[in-house]
């Protein structure tokens, strides 16, 4: 069979020999010169010394290449800012794989495929530990969206790194494939046969020189691997990180919705409220008479909620606040909390839809039990949310104007370094609430809305809300993404209708 191939393509083989023969003869003439001049031993000793020096140098080159690849890809190794617990844990495993993976050779597709499979299985098992086929836990739309993203990324990198890529046509690739299919096996066979014959002839004419040249070729091959190590180390680490990042987004459900679908889900989440950038949803929570309604009115700079000694909100009510100089937010005014189980259930439901929780507590209220119990319930729910962010919690400490000495009210007060009795009383109240509710002091903002007087420290509360806004936006994105992953009746009905229309058109088509 090989004889028939060579007979068929003898002009190509002759062309190859015509081009290669001068360089092959140069090798032969050099060998003859070393043999005639008696320099074979000197050449062999020099080759051996250089070969011994090559080993420590190659180790140094590999070590430096690995370090430089880590530094060059430092940004790529950072987890996405919108990842939460499980995603970050999976990313830590991907980084461990990247550190342990030896650089791929450009001719080892099997190693590349095996490494990609290992990365996918590690990530999938982190998100679906109980599933027998964890790697298959994704939907077809998610896979298509991942394919779209990868194609977009590959296009960007191709335009950046492949010279003349815009001039490459599919016809060029087809031509190269056809040439490889037609001549590739012949060329490889011819090279192996020709080089094998040359080695045999060289060994017959000068065995000692042949041994030296064989040793030299081994060293040259290793040197080529070392010189390409830097590029291979960079490419391998980048490939592992990109595969890991794509797998995390896939199995975390972050590819369940496209950008357009997330926008539509945000509009539905607003439930009829004008969508101006999807304001974050802030839930006001607190005991009866803690001052939630007064705080809402002060934040809104107008009367939005009835204020009085009795509970004013039997059900949660939402208000859109759009004030100049402050971020637009949706505020949910919860009923005053007590020991009733229905209110605790309502709080859990509102916490699931919240992007930020502001717990309102009165500085003059000695009973912190209901606050602590319900806050711990929210924390317990939040701790179980491994794949989505729970809403951050701030505390607005109200009624600080009523602290001793009650007759004194001359703001502002320096709570950080209190000097007067009122400031010290406020700081003591902040510390007491922080200890009772297990909150950090920096998450507590003392405020006051005394009747007939200007509200105090609301700017500080707005500033604290602004600080939490980025985190609240991520919470909102997670909440919308997770809440919209399941099938929706209207969408399912539209899909069934479209499928039926397509079938009917296919049947009716002549």
Domain locations in the chain as residue ranges: 2-251, 276-483
Q: Which is higher by pLDDT, 75 or 481?
A: 75
Distance of CA 122 to the CA centre of its chain: 15
Instruction: Write out 304-373 in H/E/C secondary structure.
Output: CCCCCCCCCCCCCEEEEECCCCCCCEEEEECCCECCCHHHHHHHHHHHHCCCEEEEEEECCCCCCHHHHH
- The pLDDT tens digits of the residues spanning 376-427 come to 999 998 888 877 888 999 999 999 999 999 889 999 999 999 989 999 999 9
pLDDT at residue 461 in the model:
95
Cβ pair 350, 282 in contact under 8 A: no
pLDDT at residue 221 in the model:
58
- The pLDDT tens digits of the residues spanning 277-294 come to 578 999 999 998 899 989
pLDDT at residue 446 in the model:
97
Q: Which is higher by pLDDT, 61 or 442?
A: 442
* CATH homologous superfamily of 276-483: P-loop containing nucleotide triphosphate hydrolases (3.40.50.300)
Choose the weakest-confidence range: 52-61, 102-111, 163-172, 190-199. 52-61
pTM of the model: 0.60
Confidence check: pLDDT of 464 > 60: yes
| CA dist list (Å): 415 to 266, 351, 359, 441 | 39, 30, 20, 11
- The pLDDT tens digits of the residues spanning 20-60 come to 566 566 666 666 776 677 676 676 677 667 666 666 766 77
pLDDT at residue 355 in the model:
93
Partners of 444 in the β-ladder: 395
Q: Which is higher by pLDDT, 435 or 155?
A: 435
- The pLDDT tens digits of the residues spanning 228-244 come to 777 788 888 988 998 89
Cβ pair 77, 241 in contact under 8 A: yes
| CA dist list (Å): 508 to 62, 499, 501, 502, 503 | 67, 14, 10, 10, 9
* Average pLDDT, integer, range 169-183: 81
Q: How high does pLDDT run on average in the chain?
A: 79
Partners of 505 in the β-ladder: none
Judged by DSSP in three states, 446 sits in strand
């Amino acid at each position: 069979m090989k004889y028939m191939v060579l007979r068929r393509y003898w002009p190509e083989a002759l062309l190859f020999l015509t081009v290669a023969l001068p360089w092959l003869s140069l090798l032969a003439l050099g060998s003859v010169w070393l043999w005639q001049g008696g320099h074979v031993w000197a050449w062999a000793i020099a080759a051996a010394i250089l070969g011994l020096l090559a080993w420590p140098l190659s180790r140094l080159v590999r070590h430096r290449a690995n370090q430089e690849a880590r530094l060059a890809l430092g940004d790529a190794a950072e987890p996405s800012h919108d990842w939460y617990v499980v995603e970050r844990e999976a990313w830590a495993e991907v980084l461990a794989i990247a550190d342990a993976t030896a650089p791929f050779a450009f001719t080892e597709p099997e190693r590349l495929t095996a490494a990609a499979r290992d990365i996918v299985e590690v990530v999938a098992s982190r998100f679906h530990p109980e599933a027998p086929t964890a790697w298959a836990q994704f939907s077809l739309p998610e896979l298509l969206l991942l394919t779209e993203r990868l194609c977009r990324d590959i296009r960007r990198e191709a335009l950046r790194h492949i010279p003349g890529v815009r001039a490459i046509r599919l016809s060029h690739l087809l031509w190269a494939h056809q040439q490889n299919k037609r001549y590739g096996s012949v060329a490889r066979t011819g090279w192996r046969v020709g080089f094998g014959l040359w080695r045999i002839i060289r060994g017959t004419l000068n065995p000692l020189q042949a041994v030296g040249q064989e040793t030299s070729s081994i060293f040259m091959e290793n040197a080529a691997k070392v010189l390409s190590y830097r590029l291979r180390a960079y490419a391998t680490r980048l490939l592992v990180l990109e595969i890991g990042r794509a797998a995390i987004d896939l199995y975390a459900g972050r590819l369940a919705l496209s950008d357009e679908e997330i926008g539509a889900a945000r509009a539905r989440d607003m439930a009829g409220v004008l969508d101006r950038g999807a304001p974050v949803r802030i839930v006001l929570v607190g005991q009866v008479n803690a001052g939630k309604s007064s705080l809402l009115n002060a934040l809104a700079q107008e009367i939005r909620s009835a204020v009085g000694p009795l509970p004013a909100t039997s059900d949660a009510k939402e208000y859109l606040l759009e004030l100049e100089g402050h971020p637009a937010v949706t505020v949910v005014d919860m009923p005053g909390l007590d020991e009733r189980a229905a209110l605790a259930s309502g709080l859990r439901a509102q916490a699931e839809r919240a992007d930020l929780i502001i717990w309102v507590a009165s500085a003059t209220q000695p009973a912190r039990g209901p606050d602590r119990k319900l806050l711990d319930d929210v924390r317990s729910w939040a701790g179980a949310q491994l794949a989505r962010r729970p809403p951050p919690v701030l505390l607005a400490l109200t009624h600080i104007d009523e602290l001793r000495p009650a007759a004194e009210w001359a703001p502002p007060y320096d709570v950080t370094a209190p000097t007067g009795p009122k400031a010290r009383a406020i700081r003591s109240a902040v510390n007491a609430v922080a200890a009772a509710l297990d909150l950090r002091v920096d998450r507590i903002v003392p405020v006051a809305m005394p009747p007939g007087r200007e509200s105090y420290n609301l700017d500080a509360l707005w500033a604290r809300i602004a600080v939490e806004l980025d985190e609240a936006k991520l919470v909102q994105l997670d909440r919308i993404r997770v809440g919209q992953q399941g099938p929706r009746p209207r969408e399912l009905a539209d899909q069934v209708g479209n499928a039926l229309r397509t079938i009917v058109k296919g049947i009716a088509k002549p």
